[in-house]
């Protein structure tokens, strides 16, 4: 018993020691001067997923509460080329960033650096007129902002978590929109680390992107073509056409891409029981994905106080084919016990349609912001695998497993926000309604795995009230949000009472913020 207690204490101490590990280092520029407000992001390997992030201090130093392990460090700052470095120890030493010649051109002008300030509930970065206009895509731009990491539409805000994205007040429901948005069309970006009552209680952070108001009249055409070699030739082509006359604005976009990728992983797992079991797995995947999408938008501005609009998006992935090769060896006390291999292919075609309509208006001191969305999408997963497994002392066995999976989604959503100035602050209230229908069909023709057909229908309604006011440099915000969710679960068309749920919750919020350091 004493040995067991000692073992548990040792495990606890080891866990605490692991959690207490801190990555440290210092950043300098090309003139060996400290580089503040740069992003230091820890990525997992080999998928480069976000693990943790921090921002360098005034003297260029940084501290990131995470263990190094088999991971990658990414350092980025406005006007500098992004640095990637394998994480080999907890002390990274001094890292030097070099100016990004493509972004800055021949001359670095301090006046071209973006202005970052705290306004209301958000950190506001002015993009228009700064070097961030040359960042590339919307994804590239967000990745340069202090305290933000963006990768293929997955946006994380340091210290808060995954962010919900809004573009001109419209909730972004397709991550590919960030790659289709050009940085020189963005006016400003607002990063909210403590979302108030107007957002869903599960939202950890919010990024609001505002584009420039189009100038001039007549036709405008813009094309973006990118090609690079990475596991094969990758191509991205985007054509934008716009027509403006008076308050009328009509825009369309055509987008196509061909991407080749590889994803190779090695996993070792050890289990200590009466015998020591060691499982060594290698997963090799590679293939290509072809995508086409189109957008049509219509906006009309009656005057400076009233505007309406609609936007339709179509997205189609006709081909997403991947070869899969997984090999696993199991050892018992160091002796080979079992060998498994799975080889085959996986296809993931998908299609989606989305529609958004909006109205923004002002009546006296009252501002009205209304958005409604519809989304219809499906994704198929077709898989054919040949599995072979051999246990020591037994005859080799194999089986073919063919599966079909279809996920269909329907969404209807509407949100209304009404606000006005009140007592030297701002009062806002409103509501939100969302209906979702998610249906899954799973089939295995050999009968090895159980077939399944399930459906979840959910109705969610919410209402909120929020008030914010500045007291000198201190920004105060208080609010309350009520949420009602009714979730109905069906199997093979039969309603399942035990899996169905109804929730009613009230979420009060209170936040205080103030700028720290130099303005």
Which CATH number applies to 1-107?
2.60.40.10
Q: What share of the chain is helix, strand, coil (3-state, %, to 5)?
A: 10, 65, 25
Q: How far apart are CA 134 and CA 78, in angstroms?
A: 10
Sorted by sequence, the CB contacts under 8 Å of residue 317 that are 6+ apart come out as 289, 290, 291, 348, 349, 350, 351
Cis omega (within 30 of 0) for bond into 350: no
CB 144 within 8 A of CB 75: no
Cα separation of the two ends of the chain = 59
Q: CA-CA distance, 368 to 113, in Å (whole number)?
A: 34
Phi, psi of 44 (to 5 degrees): -80, 155
Give the model's confidence band at 303: pLDDT under 50 very low, under 70 low, under 90 confident, else very high. Answer: confident
CA pair distance 81, 14, nearest whole angstrom: 38
What percentage of residues in the chain have a pLDDT greater than 90?
Answer: 22
At 12, is the secondary structure helix, strand, or coil? helix
Q: Rounded to an integer, what distance in angstroms lies between the CA atom of residue 5 and that of residue 12?
A: 11
Distance CA 90, CA 445 (A): 51
| Separation of alpha carbons 15 and 310, rounded Å | 53
The closest of 128, 130, 306 to 209, measured between CA atoms, is 128
Mean pLDDT calculated for residue range 211-221: 77
pLDDT value of residue 9: 41
* Cβ-based neighbour number of residue 479 at 10 Å: 20
* Residues 394, 336: Cα–Cα separation, whole Å: 13
Rounded to whole angstroms, the Cα distance separating 160 from 135 reads 24
Q: How confident is the model at residue 17 (pLDDT cuts 50, 70, 90)?
A: very low
Extended beta strands in 78-139, E state: 80-86, 91-96, 115-119, 122-126
Name the least confident of 135-149, 307-321, 334-348, 454-468. 135-149
| Domain spans, the chain | 1-107, 109-213, 224-513
Tens of pLDDT, residues 243-272: 888 888 898 999 999 988 887 878 888 888
CA dihedral sign of residues 493, 498, 504, 506: negative
Contact 245, 264 (CB under 8 A): no
Decide which of 211 and 8 is more confident.
211
Distance CA 448, CA 276 (A): 30
Binned at pLDDT 50, 70 and 90, residue 176 comes out as: confident
Please check the confidence at residue 79 and state whether its pLDDT lies above 80: no
Is the pLDDT assigned to residue 149 strictly greater than 70? yes
Task: Provide the pLDDT for residue 216.
Answer: 67
pTM: 0.71
pLDDT at 13 exceeding the cut of 60: no
Which candidate, 267, 251, 262, places its Cα nearest to that of 310? Answer: 251
Q: What's the rounded Cα separation, in Å, for the pair 242 and 185?
A: 13
Instruction: Return the CATH class of domain 109-213.
Output: mainly beta
Supply the pLDDT for residue 220. 82
- Per-residue pLDDT tens digits for 341-398: 889 999 999 999 999 999 988 888 898 989 999 999 999 999 998 988 888 778 888 8
Task: Give the least confident one: 19-28, 57-66, 89-98.
Answer: 19-28
Report the alpha-carbon distance of residue 42 to residue 158 in Å, rounded: 11
b/e per residue, 262-301, with b = 16+ CB within 10 A? eeeeeeeeeeeeeeeebbeeebebebbbbbebebebebeb
Instruction: Identify the residue with better confidence: 289 or 49.
Output: 289
pLDDT, tens digit, for every residue of 51-63?
888 888 888 888 8
Q: Are 120 and 468 in contact (CB under 8 A)?
A: yes
Angle (nearest 5°) at CA 253 between 249 and 256: 175
Tell me: pLDDT of 517 over 60: no
Name the most confidently modeled range: 171-185, 207-221, 273-287, 403-417. Answer: 403-417
């Amino acid at each position: 018993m004493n040995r067991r207690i000692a073992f548990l204490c040792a495990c606890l101490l080891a866990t605490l020691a692991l959690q207490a590990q801190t990555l440290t280092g210092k950043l300098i520029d090309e003139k060996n001067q400290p580089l503040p407000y740069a992003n230091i992001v820890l990525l997992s390997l080999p998928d480069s997923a976000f693990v943790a992030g921090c921002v360098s201090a005034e003297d260029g130093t940084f501290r990131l509460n995470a263990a190094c392990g088999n991971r990658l460090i990414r350092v980025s700052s406005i006007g500098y080329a992004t640095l990637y470095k394998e994480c080999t120890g907890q002390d990274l030493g001094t890292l030097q960033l070099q100016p990004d010649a493509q972004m800055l051109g021949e001359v670095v002008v301090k006046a071209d650096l973006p202005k970052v300030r705290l306004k209301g509930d958000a950190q506001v970065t002015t993009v228009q007129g700064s070097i961030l206009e040359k960042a590339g895509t919307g994804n590239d731009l967000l990745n340069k902002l202090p305290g933000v990491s963006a990768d293929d539409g997955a946006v994380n805000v340091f210290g808060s978590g995954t962010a919900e994205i809004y573009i001109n007040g419209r909730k972004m429901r397709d991550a590919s929109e960030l790659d289709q948005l050009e940085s020189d069309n963005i006016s400003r970006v607002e990063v909210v680390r403590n979302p108030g009552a107007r957002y869903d209680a599960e939202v950890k952070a919010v990024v609001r992107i505002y584009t420039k108001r189009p100038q001039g009249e007549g036709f405008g055409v813009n094309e973006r073509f990118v090609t690079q070699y990475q596991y094969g030739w990758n191509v991205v082509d985007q054509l934008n056409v716009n027509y403006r006359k008076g308050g009328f604005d009509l825009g369309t976009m055509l987008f196509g891409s061909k991407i080749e990728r590889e994803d190779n992983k090695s996993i070792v797992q050890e289990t200590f029981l009466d015998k020591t079991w060691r499982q060594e797995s290698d997963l090799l995947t590679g293939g290509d994905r072809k995508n086409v999408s189109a957008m049509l938008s219509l906006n009309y501005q009656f005057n400076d106080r009233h505007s309406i609009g609609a936007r339709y998006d179509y997205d189609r992935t006709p081909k997403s084919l991947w070869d899969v090769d997984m090999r696993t060896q199991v050892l018992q006390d160091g002796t080979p016990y079992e060998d498994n291999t799975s080889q085959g292919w996986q296809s993931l075609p998908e299609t989606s349609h989305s529609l958004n309509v909006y109205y923004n208006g002002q009546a006296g001191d009252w501002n009205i912001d209304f958005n409604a969305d519809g989304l219809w999408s499906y994704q198929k997963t077709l898989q054919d695998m040949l599995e072979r497994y051999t246990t020591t002392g037994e005859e080799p066995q194999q089986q073919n497993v063919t599966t079909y999976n279809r996920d269909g989604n329907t969404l209807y959503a509407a949100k209304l926000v009404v606000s006005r100035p009140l007592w030297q602050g701002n009062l806002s209230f409103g509501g939100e309604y969302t209906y979702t229908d998610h249906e899954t069909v799973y089939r295995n023709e050999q009968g090895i795995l159980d077939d399944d057909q399930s459906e979840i229908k959910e109705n969610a309604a919410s209402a909120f009230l929020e008030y914010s006011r500045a007291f000198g440099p201190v920004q105060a915000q208080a609010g309350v949000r009520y949420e009602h969710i009714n979730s109905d679960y069906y199997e093979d068309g039969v309603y399942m009472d035990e899996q169905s749920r109804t929730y009613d919750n009230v979420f009060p919020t209170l936040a205080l913020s103030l700028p720290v350091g130099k303005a």
